[in-house]
Amino acid sequence: MGRVLVALGGNALQRAGGHGTWPEQVAQMRSTAAVLATLVVDGEELIITHGNGPQVGTLLRQNELAERELPRRPMDVLGAETQGQIGYLIEQELTAALVRAKVPRTVLALVSRTAVSRKDRAFKHPDKPVGRYYTEAEARTLRKRESWEMEYDGARGGWRRVVPSPEPLRWIEGEGLRRLLPHGWGAHIVPVVTGGGGVPVIETSQGTYEGVEAVIDKDRTAALVAATLGADTLVILTDVPAAAVGFRKPWEKWLGEVRAKEMETYLQRGEFGEGSMGPKVEASLRFLRTGGHRAIITDPPSLARAMRNETGTRIVPD
Amino acid sequence: MGRVLVALGGNALQRAGGHGTWPEQVAQMRSTAAVLATLVVDGEELIITHGNGPQVGTLLRQNELAERELPRRPMDVLGAETQGQIGYLIEQELTAALVRAKVPRTVLALVSRTAVSRKDRAFKHPDKPVGRYYTEAEARTLRKRESWEMEYDGARGGWRRVVPSPEPLRWIEGEGLRRLLPHGWGAHIVPVVTGGGGVPVIETSQGTYEGVEAVIDKDRTAALVAATLGADTLVILTDVPAAAVGFRKPWEKWLGEVRAKEMETYLQRGEFGEGSMGPKVEASLRFLRTGGHRAIITDPPSLARAMRNETGTRIVPD
What pLDDT digit, counting tens, does each position of A96-133 carry? Answer: 999 999 999 999 999 999 999 999 999 999 999 998 89
Instruction: Tell me whether residue A151 is exposed, middle or buried, using C-beta atoms within 10 angstroms of its C-beta: 0 to 12, 13 to 18, 19 or more.
Output: middle
Distance of CA B140 to the CA centre of its chain: 31
What pLDDT digit, counting tens, does each position of A283-317 carry? Answer: 999 999 999 999 999 999 999 999 999 999 999 99
- Cβ–Cβ under 8 Å, residues B42 and B103: no
In this predicted structure, what is the pLDDT of residue B273? 79
Distance from C-alpha of B9 to C-alpha of A27, rounded to nearest angstrom: 35
Q: Which 3 state secondary structure label does DSSP give B300? A: helix
Q: Which 3 state secondary structure label does DSSP give B196? A: helix
Cβ within 8 Å, pair B111-A111: yes
DSSP B119: T
- Give catalytic status of residue A10 as yes or no: yes
- Cβ–Cβ under 8 Å, residues B69 and A65: yes
Q: A190 has which bridge partners?
A: A107
What would the DSSP string read from start to end of B40-81? HHTTPEEEEEE--HHHHHHHHHHHHHTTTTSPPPPHHHHHHH
Contacts of B135 (CB under 8 A, 6+ apart): B158, B159
Contacts of B187 (CB under 8 A, 6+ apart): B45
Q: Exactly one of A79, A131, A280, A312 is catalytic; which is it?
A: A280
- Cβ–Cβ under 8 Å, residues B75 and B130: yes
Of A61, A80, A92, the CB nearest to B66: A61
Instruction: Count the residues in chain B.
Output: 318
**A229: chain B residues, CB-CB within 8 Å:** none
Is B108 touching A (CB cutoff 8 A)?
Answer: yes
Residues 230-259 in A contacting B (C-alpha not used; CB under 8 Å):
none
CA distances from A30 to A14, A20, A36, A91, A97 (A): 11, 15, 10, 11, 8
Instruction: Tell me whether residue A133 is exposed, middle or buried, using C-beta atoms within 10 angstroms of its C-beta: 0 to 12, 13 to 18, 19 or more.
Output: middle
Which residue numbers in chain A have pLDDT < 70? 10-11
Cβ within 8 Å, pair B180-A182: yes
Q: For residue A184, what is the nearest residue in chain B, using CA coordinates?
A: B180
- Give catalytic status of residue B280 as yes or no: yes
- Cβ–Cβ under 8 Å, residues B143 and B162: no
In this predicted structure, what is the pLDDT of residue A11? 66
Distance from C-alpha of A284 to C-alpha of A263, rounded to nearest angstrom: 10
Of A85, A109, A188, the CB nearest to B77: A85
- Cβ–Cβ under 8 Å, residues A49 and A218: yes
**CB < 8 Å & 24+ apart, contacts of A254-257:** A254/A313, A255/A313, A256/A311, A256/A312, A256/A313, A256/A314, A257/A309, A257/A314, A257/A316
Instruction: Tell me whether residue A55 is exposed, middle or buried, using C-beta atoms within 10 angstroms of its C-beta: 0 to 12, 13 to 18, 19 or more.
Output: buried
Distance from C-alpha of A240 to C-alpha of A302, rounded to nearest angstrom: 9
Contacts across the A-B interface (CB distance below 8 Å): 186
What pLDDT digit, counting tens, does each position of A170-183 carry? Answer: 999 998 888 888 88
Q: Mind listing the domains of chain B with CATH numbers?
A: 3-114+172-309 (3.40.1160.10)
Distance from C-alpha of A91 to C-alpha of A86, rounded to nearest angstrom: 8
- Give catalytic status of residue A253 as yes or no: no
Q: Exactly one of A52, A87, A196, A218 is catalytic; which is it?
A: A218
Interface test mutation site (partner B, options A81, A183, A201, max chain B beta carbons within 10 A): A81
pTM of the model: 0.96
Walk along chain B (318 residues) and give the pLDDT tens digit of each residue. 799 999 998 667 877 778 889 999 999 999 999 999 999 999 999 999 999 999 999 999 999 999 999 999 999 999 999 999 999 999 999 999 999 999 999 999 999 999 999 999 999 999 999 988 999 999 999 999 989 999 999 888 899 999 999 999 999 999 888 888 888 888 899 999 999 999 999 999 998 999 999 999 999 999 999 999 999 999 999 999 999 998 888 989 999 999 999 999 999 999 997 778 999 999 999 999 999 999 999 999 999 999 999 999 999 999
In this predicted structure, what is the pLDDT of residue A306? 97
Contacts of A312 (CB under 8 A, 6+ apart): A241, A242, A256, A296, A297, A298, A299, A302, A303, A305, A306
Is B137 touching A (CB cutoff 8 A)?
Answer: no
Q: Which 3 state secondary structure label does DSSP give B146? A: coil
Cβ within 8 Å, pair B70-A84: no
Distance from C-alpha of A54 to C-alpha of A73, rounded to nearest angstrom: 17
Is A58 touching B (CB cutoff 8 A)?
Answer: yes
In this predicted structure, what is the pLDDT of residue B119? 96
Distance from C-alpha of A107 to C-alpha of A48, rounded to nearest angstrom: 9
φ, ψ at A259 (rounded to 5°): -75, 150
CA distances from B226 to A299, B63, B146, B232 (A): 42, 34, 37, 7
Cβ within 8 Å, pair B110-A113: no
In this predicted structure, what is the pLDDT of residue B10? 65
In this predicted structure, what is the pLDDT of residue B11? 66
B92: distance to nearest CA of chain A, Å? 7
- Counting Cα atoms < 13 Å in the Cβ hemisphere of A65 gives 20
- Cβ–Cβ under 8 Å, residues A300 and A237: yes
The angle formed by the CA atoms of residues B66, B68 and B74, to the nearest 5 degrees, is: 60
